[in-house]
């Protein structure tokens, strides 16, 4: 995925979802133009950040994010590099 340059105070992100039950119950790994990769969990609508990693997000650059969900393990990758697991 590629970020375009933000205008004004726009917040941009893209992500992947795992263990999706519905809009109120799932995990999301999101790369944000606020220079972070964030893993969060939503349970019954309540959002909790499980981990984050600082990333120098550059507009126009391609990024590959991946979220592995095996058993009770979650692993977050950016451009093929494991950044954190839970």
* pLDDT tens-digit readout, 41-71: 999 999 999 999 999 988 888 999 999 999 9
Rounded-to-integer distance, Cα 44 and Cα 38, Å:
19
> What CA–CA distance (Å, rounded) separates 32 from 81?
17
Under the banding of pLDDT at 50, 70 and 90, the label for residue 83 is: very high
Region 1-12: mean pLDDT is 66
- Residue 24 φ/ψ, nearest 5 degrees: -105, 0
What Å distances lie between residue 12 and 2, 22, 42, 57, 60, CA to CA? Answer: 11, 23, 19, 11, 13
* Per-residue pLDDT tens digits for 23-44: 999 999 999 888 999 999 999 9
- pLDDT of 74 > 90? The answer is yes
> Which pTM was predicted?
0.85
């Amino acid at each position: 995925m590629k970020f375009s340059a933000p205008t004004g105070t726009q917040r941009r992100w893209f992500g992947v979802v795992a263990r999706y039950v519905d809009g109120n119950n799932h995990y999301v790994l999101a790369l944000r133009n606020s220079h972070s990769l964030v893993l969060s969990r939503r349970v019954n609508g309540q959002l909790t950040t499980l981990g984050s990693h600082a990333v120098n997000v550059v507009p126009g650059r391609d990024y590959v994010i991946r979220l592995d969900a095996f058993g009770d393990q979650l692993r977050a990758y950016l451009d093929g590099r494991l950044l954190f697991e839970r």
